Structure 1
Amino acid sequence: MTAFSLHRTSPASPAEVWDVLTDFAGHERWIPLTTMRVDPGEPRVGWGWAGVSGIGPLGFADAMVLTRWEPPTAEGEGAAGGRFAMLKVGRLLDGWADVRVEPAPGGGAAVTWTEDISLRPRPLRRVSQPAVDRAARAMFASALDAMLEEAARRTAGTAA
């Protein structure tokens, strides 16, 4: 397993970025060939969701559960960033993610998304990991960029 980190900034506020990143049902808008299933209620530690990816009968569920849930505090003086972490608990994918949203110097938000993803069962990892690492980094970078564009559009829409 090889963890990778993506670092991005956005002109949107940390709260707006947080709202987009934690709209887990909405992640299907940014991950190709995927539909999302989410637990009822609001996200919290122990809450879960799954991205079901594939075409027809050829697919798999990437099941996850939240292990940390710390939304950002109010904007302005004393504002603090937010953080969530999750563990992959599905049959095919193993790993974790840790996502931080902080106020950026000069305004907006800074995001660090760290992900470690590999295939189960363990014997597949050695041969599959280089390809999994490349594909995961590219997919998450594209999805994160699109999510931050959405947060910026929302911010621009409220400023108008």
Structure 2
Amino acid sequence: MARFVLTRRSPLPPAECWARLTAWPRHGDRVPFTRVSVARGTGRRPGDVVLARTALGPLRFDDPMELVEVAEPAHCQLVKRGRVVRGGAELRVRAAGSGSEVVWAEELRIAGLPRLLDPAVGFVGRLVFGRVLDHLLATAAGPAPG
């Protein structure tokens, strides 16, 4: 399983960082060929499901993620329950100075890929999810919806 941790500092207050992190459809803005939506619930409570749907020509797969733990506005844990992508993610926000620190920890397992490729999966994951996190926390973007 590929594992990586992303940490970002933001001048935004923790509640605003949290609102941006949990604006789930915005996650798809920076993931190529992927749309993200809330498939069950509000996307804010345990048992809710966030769905990332990736499509590139005939290659299509879903990445359903169930929220298993939520402590607003500081922490959530998601478990990936798809056939192609397994693992999970943990998002944390805490006050740091006059702003916030955000930590995104991810574990990814791609069905059919040998474990030998885990370092490559981790490298790509850090790039892709780093873009997502930077996009979500960008202060020029204005308040996050939702």
State the match for 1:89 in structure 2. Answer: 81
- What is the identity, as a one-letter code, of the residue corresponding to 1:30? R
Deviating above 6 A after TM superposition, structure 1's stretches of 4 or more consecutive aligned residues are: none
State the match for 2:92 in structure 1. Answer: 100
State the match for 2:108 in structure 1. Answer: 117
- What is the identity, as a one-letter code, of the residue corresponding to 1:59? R
Conservation of the 8 A alpha-carbon contact between 1:64 and 1:88: yes
TM-score by length of 2: 0.88
CA distance in 2 between partners of 1:41 and 1:65 (Å)? 10
Tell me the percent identity: 35
Query: Would you say how many aligned residue pairs link Structure 1 and Structure 2?
Result: 142
CA distance in 2 between partners of 1:153 and 1:51 (Å)? 22
- What is the identity, as a one-letter code, of the residue corresponding to 2:105? T
Shift in Å at residue 28 of structure 1?
1.5
CA distance in 1 between partners of 2:128 and 2:32 (Å)? 9
Give the number of the structure whose residues are more often helix, by fraction: 1
Shift in Å at residue 96 of structure 1?
0.9
CA distance in 2 between partners of 1:139 and 1:67 (Å)? 23
Give the number of the structure whose residues are more often strand, by fraction: 2
The alpha-carbon distance between structure 1 residues 25 and 7, as it changes in their structure 2 partners (threshold 3 A), is same
Conservation of the 8 A alpha-carbon contact between 1:10 and 1:152: no
CA distance in 2 between partners of 1:110 and 1:152 (Å)? 18
Does 2:33 correspond to 1:45? no
- Which runs of structure 2 are paired with 1:1-160 in the superposition (5 Å)? 1-42=1-42, 43-72=44-73, 82-105=74-97, 107-121=98-112, 124-149=113-138, 151=139, 153-154=141-142
Deviation per CA, 1:63-106: give whole Å up to 9, x if none. Answer: 1100111112xxxxxxxxx100100000001111111000112x
Deviation per CA, 1:16-36: give whole Å up to 9, x if none. Answer: 111111011221112221112
Deviation per CA, 1:87-140: give whole Å up to 9, x if none. Answer: 0000001111111000112x111001100101125xx33233222111111101
Higher Rg of the two aligned structures: 1
Query: What's the secondary structure of 2:120's corresponding residue?
Result: helix
Conservation of the 8 A alpha-carbon contact between 1:11 and 1:152: no
The alpha-carbon distance between structure 1 residues 35 and 103, as it changes in their structure 2 partners (threshold 3 A), is same
CA distance in 2 between partners of 1:99 and 1:119 (Å)? 20
The alpha-carbon distance between structure 1 residues 35 and 153, as it changes in their structure 2 partners (threshold 3 A), is closer
Unaligned runs of 5+ in 1: 73-81, 156-160
Unaligned runs of 5+ in 2: none
Q: What's the Cα RMSD here?
A: 1.6
Conservation of the 8 A alpha-carbon contact between 2:26 and 2:136: no
